[in-house]
Chain A
Amino acid sequence: MTSAINVRRIAAACVAFVAAAAMMLGAVGEAQANYEVDTSGMFEFKLGPYHPMVDREFGDDGPYEAFFGNRSMFYGEISYDYHLWREFGTLSVGLHAGYGRVSATMVDEEGTEVDSDDLSALRNIPLKTSLVYRYDYSAHNHNIPLVPVVKAGLNYNFWRATDASGDTQEIDGQRGVGGTAGIHATLGLHLHLDFFDPRRSASMSYLWGVQNTFLFAEYNWTRTDVFGDGINLGSNHWAAGLAFEF
């Protein structure tokens, strides 16, 4: 429950942040920044909590909550999108790589945490391919610095459960390492930062070839139980990050 509350708080913070930034539009009404469309791709990185749905196959007494409690993974992801088509918005294909980890102190036979730094961890390393649509037509043509983004695609989540020495756990011949396929979808809102600081935008373009810079928040929906049974690393989570279009 606490985790759900945390996720909601983070989500609310992200939305509030983007909304506040959008409200600044009035204050910077004189700002005029060109939304560059002479671009070929986009690089993103984002961070956020990731609470996998491991317990979904167990009902009330799931192993994730029993061991990790309400902790979420600390999750980060980088991605590269290659623009395929640009007319009424931009259609791209993207590759993403993420990393999330959560750990807790190991317990003895009575289930009590041992008095040492023995940590057992679960790592989640998803690789994704997505089709990405950005509605940037209004950003370019109507000078509106907000770009809604939709992504959907396939993912393959590598995972690993480790003991205190960092080795893969093995119980009765079952090794705690593997991968599972799934699907994902994302809904995001990108704030075009160049709108607020055209001079720095020009500098970024000249020095680094970065044509557009965005601050964004997004909601991610991931499922890994659609192709069969297995550890469920699906999640509904929020994330925020920066994106650079070049």
Chain B
Amino acid sequence: MNHQLWKKSPAVAMAAVVVVGVSALPAVASAGEPLTTDFIGEASIVSHWEHRIDDAGTSAYAGIDQCDELLDEDSVFDGSFVASETHIIDFNDTNHFGGAFRYSGERGDSSFACLAGPGDEVDEDCTEISDEHYSVNEVGDEISFNVPLESFLDLDDEDCEAGELDRSYRIQIAVRDEENYADDRGYEHSELRLVVDFIRPETPVLNDAFVTENTISVEFDPSESDDVDSHAVVYSSEEFSEGDSIDDLQGPDTVTGEESGEVDGSFSPGETIYVGVVARDRAGNWSFVSAPISATVIETDGFWDFYVDRGGSEQGGYGCAAGGQTAPAAALSWLVVIVAMLGLMRVVAPGRARQTAEVCSCDNEARRR
């Protein structure tokens, strides 16, 4: 590669936020979210591996399970920026396009402008992306990136094993409005973000569990981590302990409630089930299992239990009735066939019905006269 090796510690990147970011940040930026500008109509990440991409398509999340892929020398981070229809930008024109950069920082605070305005130096925490890793299409309104993760992230096996890394990596472009590029107006920026998160969320606390033949109901205190995406129930007929991995347990089955919920299952009445809850963050990392609660499966009755218990005559099945008479069913079948044939005749000879109706109509007219 012919560009300088990029590497910054999170602490340095934080400092850069304060020094560079304050005056250059567009108003649309919120802490941590990728910068956006009206000049860019679409910014999107191309998924090649098992990272999760948010609804906006501008943030990808990689967790512990993706560690091997992140370390793979062939892995890349792909994405593109497309100019909006109302702002035609020629990315080949240096008056419009101020450069493509990448940088990293602690998650949540790392947005800043790599290139603030015309004539300004590129911020030292940003690295310009070499031509070989981005391309502009022929029309000049789209830039595509293909950045090797090996140089982008600079991770090693220890980062994966330590489980302490939680950082965002960004690709940023700087663009100016066509009508104003000649003056001193600054650049606006659009970003794509890759969040690498190897920290498990805090373990939630299970307060109550209730198990029927078909359902596990739980009440819990949610995980205290900021980036929790969902909670899930794990269970087993074998006893397990707080902090165990979820790999040996049934589930995880996601619950929709924030502090309670239900998941489906199939259990035998009287059986003892051990239930726990786990949290999952946006990178897909599961927390360790909460302290389990044991619950005895409660037998439940539905309508059919009530019917059978009361000695109902119905035995089930598709006879005419429990008595097993078949003549009415046969008659019904013939009626269905006849009606179906009439319908078929209408499809085959659509004009015939019309003619018949016209005759009726004429007859009625004649009768009226």
Contact segment of A9-17, A158-166, A185-193: A158-166
Closest partner residue, chain A, to B329 (CB atom): A181
- Write out the residue numbers on chain A whose beta carbons fall within 8 Å of the beta carbon of B338: 93
Residues of chain A touching chain B, judged by Cβ–Cβ distance below 8 Å, are 37-41, 54, 57-58, 61-64, 66-68, 80, 82-84, 86-87, 93-95, 104, 106-109, 114-118, 120-122, 127, 129, 140-141, 153-156, 158, 161-165, 169-172, 174-181, 224-225, 227-231
- Write out the residue numbers on chain A whose beta carbons fall within 8 Å of the beta carbon of B336: 95, 127, 129
**14 sampled A-B residue pairs with Cβ under 8 A:** A37-B364, A40-B356, A57-B312, A67-B306, A83-B357, A84-B342, A87-B363, A122-B303, A141-B364, A171-B309, A175-B317, A179-B317, A181-B332, A231-B313
Chain B CB count within 10 A is highest, among A83, A116, A175, for A116
CB distance from A133 to the nearest CB of B (A): 15
Complex-state Cα separation, A117 to B316, whole angstroms: 26
CB distance from A220 to the nearest CB of B (A): 18
Q: Identify which of residues 304-355 in chain B touch chain A, using a CB-to-CB cut-off of 8 Å.
A: 304-310, 312-325, 328-329, 331-332, 335-336, 338-340, 342-343, 346, 353-354
Complex-state Cα separation, A227 to B330, whole angstroms: 12
Chain A CB count within 10 A is highest, among B307, B322, B363, B364, for B307
Chain A CB count within 10 A is highest, among B331, B332, B363, for B332
Contact segment of B114-122, B140-148, B294-302: B294-302
Evaluate contact between B364 and A114: CB separation under 8 angstroms: no
Complex-state Cα separation, A54 to B70, whole angstroms: 63
Evaluate contact between A54 and B307: CB separation under 8 angstroms: yes
Evaluate contact between A120 and B298: CB separation under 8 angstroms: no
Evaluate contact between B312 and A231: CB separation under 8 angstroms: yes
Given A165-B214, A171-B305, does the pair A227, B339 have CB atoms closer than 8 Å?
no
Partner of A118, one of B212, B317, B322, B325: B212
**12 more CB-based (< 8 A) A-B contacts, given A179-B318, A225-B321, A230-B313:** A41-B346, A58-B312, A63-B307, A82-B343, A106-B300, A107-B301, A114-B298, A116-B212, A165-B264, A171-B309, A181-B321, A228-B321
Partner of A38, one of B266, B320, B361: B361
Q: Does B213 contact A (CB under 8 A)?
A: yes
Complex-state Cα separation, A162 to B316, whole angstroms: 13
Q: Does B181 contact A (CB under 8 A)?
A: no
- Write out the residue numbers on chain B whose beta carbons fall within 8 Å of the beta carbon of A62: 310
Complex-state Cα separation, A170 to B264, whole angstroms: 18
Residues of chain B touching chain A, judged by Cβ–Cβ distance below 8 Å, are 210, 212-215, 217, 262, 264, 266, 298-310, 312-325, 328-329, 331-332, 335-336, 338-340, 342-343, 346, 353-354, 356-358, 360-361, 363-364, 368
CB distance from A46 to the nearest CB of B (A): 19
Partner of A169, one of B264, B303, B314: B303
Closest partner residue, chain B, to A84 (CB atom): B342
Closest partner residue, chain A, to B310 (CB atom): A63
CB distance from B353 to the nearest CB of A (A): 4
CB distance from A132 to the nearest CB of B (A): 11
Partner of A106, one of B302, B316, B324, B331: B302
Closest partner residue, chain B, to A38 (CB atom): B357
CB distance from B211 to the nearest CB of A (A): 9
CB distance from A161 to the nearest CB of B (A): 4
Complex-state Cα separation, A86 to B213, whole angstroms: 58
Evaluate contact between A87 and B302: CB separation under 8 angstroms: no
Evaluate contact between A175 and B316: CB separation under 8 angstroms: yes
Closest partner residue, chain A, to B269 (CB atom): A109
- Write out the residue numbers on chain B whose beta carbons fall within 8 Å of the beta carbon of A80: 343
Chain B CB count within 10 A is highest, among A107, A117, A181, for A181
